[in-house]
Amino acid sequence: MAEKNSVKKIGKIKLSSQAMNSLPRLMILLLLSLVLTFLSPYFLTKLNLINVVAMSSIPAIFALGEMLVVLTGNIDLSLGAIFSLGGVVVAALMKYLLVPVPIAILAGMAAGALMGVINGVLMAKVKLPSFIGSYALRVAITGFANAILQGYIVYDFPPAFRFIGVQRLFGIPVPIYFAAAVFFVIWVVLYRTKLGRKIYAVGANPEAARLSGIKNDRVIMTVYIIAGSMAALAGILQTSRINQAHAFLGDPTLLPGIAAVVIGGTSMFGGVGGAFGTIIGALIMNVIQNGLNLLGAPSVWQQTIVGGIILFAVVIDQSVRQATAKRIN
């Protein structure tokens, strides 16, 4: 018991040093919120704020998964397709095979995990560059998802299923609970488990990690599996929320997901980044999108704006990195 307490205590110190690192991002989030409050009277209403946090839950789950992959120095461009696949599998199982809801959900996540295995095999065993391999897989997965539903869109899900996306528990939308649980698990994995250390090691210097006896392939496979499951879960929640499943559901989620990871401070080179930062990144992305909606910006500009945000975030992040490196040198 004493051991556990000291872990907690040191845990608190570690948490605050992470929070310290995330401080600039937190400030950006608050700043954005301030600007939006100023620009639109609806922003600061309780309804809207809960809405923003709830809306951020699903992308947050998605982004946390992507973050794990990026931490190892790879990228997963298939997560958007896996997002769709989650919904498609759940829909197909429930509608055509009459599988009970909880099992369908688990099966959906398992499908995501399976895609993660394929990703892992491609990257770790065949040693494809991850942006190529995962992009090709995305094309393939979207194709298969489309083939499963024969090109149709599935509607009208049973209320038991819609519970997880739409209902509230003690006044708080259910997706937020999922997001909190995922965050907790990923946080523990990253900072309190051997796997977490290995993830950072592989991202920081894969050869040194391998020569230290770490099985890089296994670590990479694991992160892809987790990311795939998270993406599928996010897709399932989204399907529940909007009552639709089809093969292209996840297409618009990949980009904001990567943006959230980048804004959250995770380096594309691997080895740098954290769970808390990613959550803030997801929140920032959603606040921006929420703000754009409130301001009436046409949806056709969304792609441009998100692309611009990624550029902006990466430029700022890299400039800061360069400035500190210059000071050291």
Partner 1 sequence: MQIAKKNNTKTTIDKIKQFLNGLPPLTWVVVALFIIFGLISPEFYLVDNLVNMVRRGSTLWILATMATLLLISGGLDLSLGAVLTFSGVVMAIMLRAGYGPLISSLAGILSGTLIGALNGLLVSTLGIPAFIVTLGTMNVFAGLAVAMSETSAIFIDNFTMKFIGAGAIAGIPVPVWVSIIIFVLSYVIFHHTSFGRYIVAIGENKLGAHLSGVNTGFYTFLVFAYASTMAGIAGVVLASRIQSADPRVGVGWEFDAVAASIMGGTLRGSGKSGITTTIVGVLLIVILRNGLNIIQVPVEWRSAVVGVFLLAGIIIDISIRRRES
Partner 2 sequence: MVNKLLLKAENISKAFPGVQALDKVNFDLYEGEVHVLIGENGAGKSTLMKIFAGAYFPDSGSIEISGKKVNFRSPQDAQEAGIGIIYQEFNLIPDMNVAQNMFLGRFPKRGGVIIDHKKLHAAADKILKSLSLNIDTRVNVCELGTGQQQMVEVAKSLTMDSKILIMDEPTAALTEREIDSLFAMIKTLKKRGIGIIYISHRLEEVNLVADRVTVLRDGKYIGTKDVDEVEIPELVNMMVGREIANMYAFAKDTDVFGEEALRVENLKSGSKIKGASLAIRAGEIVGLAGLVGAGRTELARAIFGADKYDSGKVFVFGKEVNPREPIDMVAEGMALIPEDRKGQGLALILPTSENIVMANLKGLFNGPFINLKKERDVSNKYITDLSIATPSHTRVVQFLSGGTQQKVVLAKWLCTQSKVFIFDEPTRGIDVGAKAEIHGLMRELVKNGAAILMISSELPEIIGMSDRIYVMREGDIVAELSCNEATQETVIAHAMGGA
Cα separation, 157 vs 240, in Å, equals 7
- Selected from 23, 27, 39, 139, the binder of partner 1 by CB under 8 A is 139
- Selected from 52, 262, 275, 288, the binder of partner 1 by CB under 8 A is 262
Determine the distance from the C-alpha atom of residue 227 to the mean position of all C-alpha atoms in its chain, rounded to a whole number. 8
**Encoded amino acid at 132, one letter:** I
- In whole angstroms, the minimum distance from the beta carbon of 232 to partner 1 comes to 18
Determine if 126 is a binding residue for partner 1 (CB under 8 A).
Answer: yes
Residues in contact with partner 2 by CB under 8 A are 3, 6-7, 10-11, 14, 191-198, 200-201, 204-205, 207-215, 271-272, 327-329
> What would the two tokens of residue 107 be?
């099966």
**6 interface partner picked from partner 2, partner 1, none, CB below 5 to 8 A per type:** partner 2
Residue bearing tokens 């992305």: 285
Binding mask 32-71 for partner 1 (x = CB under 8 A): ----------------------------------------
> Residue 179 contacts by C-beta under 8 Å, 6 or more apart in sequence?
56, 57, 58, 60, 61
Q: Is residue 189 a contact partner of residue 71, using CB atoms and an 8 Å limit? A: no
- Cross-strand bridge partners of residue 262: none
Which ranges of 121-173 does DSSP label H, i.e. alpha helix? 130-148, 159-166
Cα–Cα distance list, 298 to 99, 189, 254 (Å): 40, 40, 20
Determine if 158 is a binding residue for partner 1 (CB under 8 A).
Answer: no
Determine the distance from the C-alpha atom of residue 13 to the mean position of all C-alpha atoms in its chain, rounded to a whole number. 26
- Selected from 103, 143, 153, 160, the binder of partner 1 by CB under 8 A is 143
**8 interface partner picked from partner 2, partner 1, none, CB below 5 to 8 A per type:** none
Residues forming the site for partner 1 (CB under 8 A): 75, 122, 126-128, 131-133, 135-144, 146-147, 150-151, 255, 258, 262, 268-269, 298, 300-308, 310-311, 314-315, 318-319, 322
